[in-house]
Amino acid sequence: MTNDAEHTEQIISHYGGSTPVRSRWTYRATEPYTVIAAFQADADRWVEWIFGRDLLAEGLVRAAGDGDVRLAPVTSGGRAVLALEIESPDGHAVLELDHAAVQAFFATTTAMVPLGGEADFFDIDALIEEITNV
């Protein structure tokens, strides 16, 4: 079973607590294991990070992630935020996202595809065809 449903949420992040960074969060039922977080670098340039939805689920409740993407719920300035730490050879950033907004985005993803039900939405045959027809 596949579903073409897609949900995109825009969340304002704060780098170092001072500079707003526009982000666009996307989840597609046809790619049920991942979420995409895109951050606006310039007026017409976005930088995308793709990571596991399971990492987002864990990061909303406790520190999670060992690689280039790490998440942790923290309190900053008296408000609940989700600290998102991203790292690449080009740089490192820690962004503070409104915890409730990210939680709402995550809840929408689970309404689209329940946790543990991803295999019902993932088209393995299409992936095999894509890989073998390269």
Q: What is the identity of the amino acid at 125?
A: D
pTM of the model: 0.79
The separation between the first and the last C-alpha atoms of the chain, rounded to the nearest angstrom, is: 24
Of 81, 80, 57, 55, nearest to 70 by C-alpha is: 55
- Between 31 and 11, the more confident residue is 31
Ordered structural domains, the chain, with CATH: 6-117 (2.30.31.20)
Quick one: what percent of the chain has pLDDT higher than 90? Answer: 40
- Between 17 and 20, the more confident residue is 20
Q: Give the separation between CA 42 and CA 26, rounded to whole angstroms.
A: 19
16-25, 71-80, 118-127 — most confident range: 71-80
Torsions phi, psi of 33, nearest 5? Answer: -90, -10
**pLDDT per residue as tens digits for the range 61-113:** 999 999 899 999 999 888 899 999 998 888 888 888 889 999 999 999 999 99
Cβ–Cβ < 8 Å for 41, 49? no
| Mean pLDDT estimate for the chain | 82
pLDDT band at 128 (very low <50, low <70, confident <90, very high): confident
- Between 114 and 16, the more confident residue is 114
pLDDT band at 127 (very low <50, low <70, confident <90, very high): low
Between 5-14, 38-47, 63-72, 116-125, the lowest mean confidence (pLDDT) is in 5-14
Confidence (pLDDT) at 36 = 92
